[in-house]
Chain A
């Protein structure tokens, strides 16, 4: 069974400080991994996905298969980054596109 673990329920940093939101997964194959974000009073939305190797709003995430991790990082946090962040996993290929989400990390960036 696939599982996503986000060990930190809450994370608080100061503006300008680096931030890392941890995500670990359990899956025997090569999963597709995503980060979704929910800003206050907004819908849950995709932030980035590992296959794109993209940087969105200064955030990056690297898939580490050895450590089965997909941590989300930003070198200099901004107040507008305050939000709920969810890591998600999906088995590649096949007909089952169900996304499994972690429990989320609430990031607060203080001025």
Chain B
């Protein structure tokens, strides 16, 4: 595809359930980011993948959050035992370090609502 693709676009779940969010980055982009945007808040960094390097997990808010990326392709963000405060839009972005100064290209986000 031409851009970063995220699925699902909307997810409503019950407190305590696990959810999995998916991100398909732009082909060839080595860097992939996950951010969280709570209502009325800014972008909160969650995790960063760069090639085969160890991911920067410093933004994950708790051990209920985890993310994986297979090579330089798809990434999944998993939230276990969801809580109401997890409700937010989860944004994925990818970038190529080869040029354009590392501009981030964002997906449309996955809106998570925890009831």
> Interface on A for B, CB 8 Å cutoff?
6, 32, 36, 43-46, 49, 51-52, 86, 90, 95-104
Contacts and interface: CB of A to CB of B under 8 A. Distances in A.
A46 B42 contact: no
Closest 8 pairs (CB-CB, A-B): A103-B42, A101-B43, A44-B106, A43-B106, A46-B103, A104-B42, A98-B48, A97-B102
Among B48, B104, B105, find the residue whose CB has the most chain A CB atoms closer than 10 A. B104
A101 B101 contact: no
B67 to A, nearest CB: 14
A84 to B, nearest CB: 10
A44 B93 CA distance: 9
Interface residues of B, number: 24
Interface in B67-115: 91, 93, 95, 97, 101-108
B103 A100 contact: no
Nearest to B58: A98
B91 A44 contact: yes
> A44, A90, A102 — which one has the most chain B CB atoms within 10 A of its CB?
A44
Contacts of A95: 50, 53
A94 to B, nearest CB: 11
Contacts of A45: 105-106
**Which interface residue of A45, A51, A96, A99 has the most chain B CB atoms within 10 A?**
A99
A45 B43 CA distance: 13
Given A32-B101, A86-B43, A101 B56 contact: no
A98 B108 contact: no
Interface in B5-49: 31, 33, 35, 41-43, 45, 48
A45 B101 CA distance: 14
B95 A97 contact: yes
Contacts of B42: 6, 86, 101-104
B3 interface: yes
A51 B35 CA distance: 24
Contact of B97 (A46, A52, A97): A97
A33 to B, nearest CB: 11
